[in-house]
Structure 1
Amino acid sequence: MDIKDHAAIITGGASGLGAATARALAARGARVAIVDHNEQGAAAVASEIGGIALACDVSSASEAEVAMQKAAEAHGPARILVNCAGVAPAKKVLGKSGVMALDDFRRTVEINLVGTFNFLRLFAEQAADLEPLSQSGERGVIVNTASVAAYEGQIGQTAYAASKGGVMALTLPAAREFAQIGVRVCTIAPGIFETPMLLGLPEAAQKSLGASVPFPSRLGKPEEYAALALAIIDNEMLNGETIRLDGALRMAPK
């Protein structure tokens, strides 16, 4: 898909992977709407790239519907959706303080998995009515974000790994269903990246994490995630696939 002049929606676009993707899409000429619960952060990125910011709890049906409508009013119906919104709590099922609260597990799944599905469904509903962009009938592209934890979840990542495993699992059936409307669905599973959470760790801890990556032995850069997202959007044959972006990292148990 040619990105120029098309409307794009980025969830979790106020920082990290989402912000880098918003910048990359805007640099290619897309009209970008940034959806995030962090209204101030979203507004800062939107101001930088000439986009719009929309405050939203991605797991809320009503708030997502309003965000999609406002984005369409500002830029027209979206052709591109990149789901980056997510949380990464670390908590054992049976820790020193007792058993994990069910609401802690539920919140992670609600944001990471339900939030992804929420925008995926609303995007597909809008895209189904758009004119095809190519002879093959392509109308839009969805890029979701999983994690290598979907494959090798570590101790303390039961909620996170389960939610990201769900994102990975919905990729192929969604791509198969949306084939009839010309909407592709792919997922990126990043390894250890320079997100606000990791950059908040001591420098020694960051270096140690980076050294665990076979090659290149460093933390991934958000711009590298954005570059893969754009490559997926550009390449019409990429569909129904989850792509690891991890420097050959395979996570240890802890």
Structure 2
Amino acid sequence: MKIEGRTFIISGGASGLGQACVETLVEAGGYVAVLDMNEENGAELVSKLGSQTKFFVCNVLETESIRAAVDGAVEWVKKTGKPLGGVIPAAGVSTPATVRIRGFLGEKQSTCHNMLTMDQMLDRDGNALDLSDFDFVMNVNLRGTIDLVRQSLVHIAKTEPTRPDGERGVVIMVASSAAFDGQKGQVSYSASKGAVTAMTLPMTRDLARYGVRVITIAPSLFESRMTSMMSDKVRGSLEKAMEFPRRAGQPAEFAALAKHAIENAMLNGTVLRLDGGMRMPSKM
């Protein structure tokens, strides 16, 4: 698909990997509906990138919030005349303990007192995994993903094909290397990202008749606000698990793959690992 002159909906678009995708697609001539909870970051990004972007407040935990954002994006498309070309659900959280660091619920960073607490089946005192924590991660990473995708597809499937082969759009989902080799304490996160990878092929088969492709990217350690809060010990341990290059990935490198996935019509129904050859050890 040609990016120029098409509109893409990106959740989590005001920071991290989502923001990198916004910037890359705009540079390629695309238009982007930026969905995020952080209004300050969203306004700053739109001010920086200009009229090819428009910000919509969106909480992926709430279906009505997603509906309002998607409807707003569709109305914007009618005004610009730049038809929908795809959706990238990049909003997500890692573990319950790191949610506050990302500010997902609007909490200040100082309220997070234990960044490295993980969601194990049994904690050190033998207590069972808290299902409310499990539900939260699953609802953001999995339900939030499918909810945004399904609501966007209603409109993408109605657009005119962009190529002789009938292509109408593309869905690019975000998984993680944890979907394949999750570490100790990543039960919720691995489950949510594993489910995203698992639904890639059936979603591809469902949408083939509409000319919509589905690709999932599974990154490993990438630079973000969340990873910037890691201790040197934790970060160093993760980088040592990478083959080459032995460093965290850059958001622009993720966005470059997303751009290629949009442009290459033969990429479909697959999960692309973006991990420097990393295979996560059982524990750090």
TM category, shorter:
over 0.9
**Aligned residue in 1 for 2:114:** none
Cα distance in 1 for residues equivalent to 2:166 and 2:88: 20
Q: Distance in 2 between matches of 1:72 and 1:169?
A: 29
Contact kept? 2:241, 2:281, Cα under 8 Å = no
Tell me, yes or no, if the aligned pair for 1:31 and 1:75 is still in contact at 8 Å.
no
Give TM-score scaled by structure 1 length: 0.96
> Is residue 2:97 matched to residue 1:86?
no
**Contact kept in structure 2, 1:33 and 1:46, CA below 8 Å:** no
Whole-Å separation in 2 of the counterparts to 1:215 and 1:71: 40
Asked if 1 retains the 8 angstrom alpha-carbon contact of 2:172 and 2:216, the reply is: yes
Tell me whether 135-144 or 88-97 shows the greater mean CA deviation: 88-97
AA partner of residue 66 (structure 2): A
CA RMSD of aligned residues (A): 1.3
Verify: 1:157 aligned to 2:163, yes or no. no
| Contact residue 17 and residue 222 of structure 1 kept, 8 A | yes
Query: In the alignment, what sits opposite 1:57?
Result: 59
Distance 1:152 1:204, change over 3 A: closer
Give the aligned partner of residue 200 of structure 2.
171
* Cross-structure match for 1:23: 23
Select which of 242, 245, 256 maps to 1:213: 242
AA aligned to 2:24 is: A
Q: Does 1:127 align with 2:133?
A: no
Q: Is the 8 A contact 1:146 1:190 kept in 2?
A: yes
- Whole-angstrom distance in 2 between the partners of 1:107 and 1:46: 29
- Matched residue type, 1:63: S
Tell me the distance in 1 between the aligned counterparts of 2:129 and 2:29.
Answer: 45
One-letter identity of the residue aligned with 1:65: R
Q: Which of residues 66, 72, 75 is equivalent to 1:73?
A: 75
| Gaps in structure 1 of 5+ consecutive residues | none
Which residue of structure 1 aligns with residue 43 of structure 2?
Answer: 43
- Identity percentage of aligned residues: 41
What do residues 4-62 of structure 1 show as CA deviations (whole Å, max 9, x unaligned)? 11111111111110011110011111111111122222222222222111111113221
Give 3-state SS (helix, strand or coil) of 2:277's partner. coil
Q: Distance in 2 between matches of 1:204 and 1:158?
A: 22
CA distance in 2, matches of 1:45, 1:204: 33
DSSP 3-state at the match of 2:227: helix
Q: Which amino acid aligns with 1:2?
A: K
Q: Distance in 1 between matches of 2:280 and 2:234?
A: 16
How far, CA to CA, are the matches of 1:224 and 1:75 in structure 2?
Answer: 28
Matching of residues 174-213 of structure 1 within 5 Å: 174-203=203-232, 205-213=234-242
Q: Distance in 2 between matches of 1:92 and 1:153?
A: 12
- The whole-number CA distance in structure 2 between the counterparts of 1:30 and 1:59 is 27
CA contact (8 A) 1:11 1:18 kept: yes
Which residue matches 1:33? 33
How many residues in Structure 1 have an aligned counterpart in Structure 2?
254
SS at match of 2:8: strand
Q: Distance in 2 between matches of 1:250 and 1:58?
A: 30
Partner residue in 2 for 1:231 = 260
Deviation at 1:202, TM superposition (A): 3.4
Report if the CA contact (8 A) 1:10-1:33 is conserved: yes
